């Protein structure tokens, strides 16, 4: 295959027309014109930006991009932004500045209805950044056959207190801050299944919520280990932590909170292929203890979008952490614990 010919034919690298881009962006940065974090890059058409960071802090960097999981353009933009910011929160960092990454079909930039939808996506992302007190420092856009939107995010963090995948240790409890099941619900929404409207509302409510409070808990209690639950599902991300930390994780399947309709949709077969791929990848290192409900087990592999944080919490601090989260309106559930590494190849146990 001649790559350059393929690229030219598909128009994959074509930029959005300047006039269309100007209309899309008009006013989105007006509230941040005096942002003192940005030393350079606020002028028209700058190719880069210069950003200050507080003395003694380190930088957290991440990038994430999504295709739509809901029909509402504004909520899709907000969910994509929340999803990108979560990687910073999961390490105990504070998101500091971000840059948009937008891939939009050319046809949508050429009519009023399409432009209105694309504008709403950017407004949704901007709303999450504003709530998180994050400076929008610019971005990049290209034409693509499919809508994609996301952000690159820079955060700041105390280098002496970083929560990471490899810091689980025996005796820690595992606390999850959001119910799971967004992948299954999104499959039902796309299929127009019974209760689809309510299911989309649930996705928007949970995936469109920042993980800022959970991130604050990590900093306040100096929690050693955490991760955010996204495309690999709860089991996949918990297994990553177990492997990195050389420990064994036990998840109590019955204790894992699920969004409404998840079990009924799963029973109807509305499970995304990603859940089965996650299960296939993990199965050699996962074992079953007892007789957990099979549909709940399947939901534990469901790929999430902007899911909650999984926190490794010392048992002596658990009640205090739970109170901290609940007092600030954040959901939480103790869903498992960490044991010493087993001599077998099993690193994660699904108990029921």
Mean pLDDT within 103-119: 84
Helix, strand, coil: what percent of the chain each, to 5? 40, 25, 35
Same domain, 38 and 176: no
Torsions phi, psi for 180 (to 5 deg): -110, 170
pLDDT of 107: 81
**Torsion sign across C-alpha atoms 343, 344, 348, 351:** negative
Same domain, 34 and 181: no
Please answer whether residues 244 and 165 qualify as being in contact, where contact means their C-beta atoms are separated by less than 8 angstroms.
yes
pLDDT of 16: 64
How wide is the angle at C-alpha 174 spanned by C-alphas 172 and 179, nearest 5°? 175
CATH of the domain at 189: 3.90.650.10
pLDDT of 71: 93
Q: How far apart are CA 200 and CA 139, in angstroms?
A: 28
Given a cut of 70, whether residue 333 has pLDDT beyond it is: yes
What would the DSSP string read from start to end of 171-190?
A: TEEEEE-S-B-HHHHHHHHH
Mean pLDDT within 318-333: 97
Report the mean per-residue pLDDT for the chain.
Answer: 90
Please say which residue of 157, 185, 205 terminates a domain: 157
Question: Which helix H or strand E contains 348, and what residues bound it?
Answer: strand 348-351
pLDDT of 20: 64
26-40, 204-218, 255-269, 279-293: segment of lowest average pLDDT: 26-40
Given a cut of 50, whether residue 12 has pLDDT beyond it is: no
**Domain range spanning residue 69?**
3-157
pLDDT of 115: 82
pLDDT of 15: 64
What would the DSSP string read from start to end of 61-124?
A: EEEEEE--SSS-HHHHHHHHHHHHHHHHHHTT-EEEEEEEEEEE-GGGGSSHHHHHHHHHHHHH
pLDDT of 92: 97
CATH of the domain at 120: 3.30.1330.10
Q: How far apart are CA 60 and CA 288, in angstroms?
A: 36
Q: How many CA atoms lie within 13 A of 68 on its CB side?
A: 20
Residue 100 tokens read as 């948009």
Please say which residue of 135, 157, 179 terminates a domain: 157
Same domain, 175 and 255: yes
Number of independent structural domains in the chain: 2
Q: How far apart are CA 337 and CA 45, in angstroms?
A: 50
Given a cut of 80, whether residue 26 has pLDDT beyond it is: no
Same domain, 101 and 200: no
pLDDT of 3: 44
């Amino acid at each position: 295959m001649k790559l350059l010919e393929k690229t030219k034919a598909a128009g994959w690298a074509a930029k959005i027309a300047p006039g269309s881009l100007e209309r899309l962006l008009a006013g989105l940065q007006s509230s941040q014109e005096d942002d003192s974090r940005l030393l350079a890059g606020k002028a028209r058409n700058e190719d880069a930006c210069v950003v200050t960071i507080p003395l003694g802090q380190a930088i957290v960097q991440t990038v994430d991009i999504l295709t739509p999981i809901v029909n509402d353009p504004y909520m899709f933009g907000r969910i994509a932004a929340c999803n990108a910011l979560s990687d910073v929160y999961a390490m105990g960092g504070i998101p500091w500045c971000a840059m948009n990454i937008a891939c939009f079909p050319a046809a949508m930039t050429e009519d009023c209805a399409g432009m209105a939808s694309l504008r709403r996506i950017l407004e949704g992302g901007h709303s999450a950044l504003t709530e998180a007190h994050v400076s929008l420092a610019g971005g990049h856009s290209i034409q693509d056959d499919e809508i994609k939107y996301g952000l690159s995010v820079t955060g700041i963090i105390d280098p002496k207190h970083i929560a990471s995948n490899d810091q689980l240790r025996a005796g820690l409890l595992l606390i999850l801050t959001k119910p799971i099941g967004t992948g299954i619900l999104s499959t039902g929404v796309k299929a127009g299944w019974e209760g689809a409207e309510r299911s989309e509302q649930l996705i928007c409510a949970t995936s469109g919520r920042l993980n800022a409070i959970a991130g604050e808990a990590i900093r306040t209690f100096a929690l050693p280990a955490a991760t955010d639950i996204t495309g690999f599902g709860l089991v996949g991300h918990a297994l990553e932590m177990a492997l990195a930390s050389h420990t064994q994780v036990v998840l109590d399947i019955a204790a894992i909170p699920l969004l409404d309709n998840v079990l009924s949709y799963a029973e109807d077969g509305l499970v995304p292929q990603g859940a089965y791929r996650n299960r296939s990848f993990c199965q050699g290192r996962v074992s079953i203890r007892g007789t957990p409900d099979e549909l709940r087990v399947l939901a534990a592999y469901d790929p999430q979008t902007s899911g909650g944080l999984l926190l490794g919490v010392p048992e002596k601090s658990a009640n205090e952490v739970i109170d901290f989260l609940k007092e600030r309106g954040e959901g939480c559930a103790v869903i498992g614990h960490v044991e010493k590494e087993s001599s077998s190849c099993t690193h994660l146990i699904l108990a029921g």
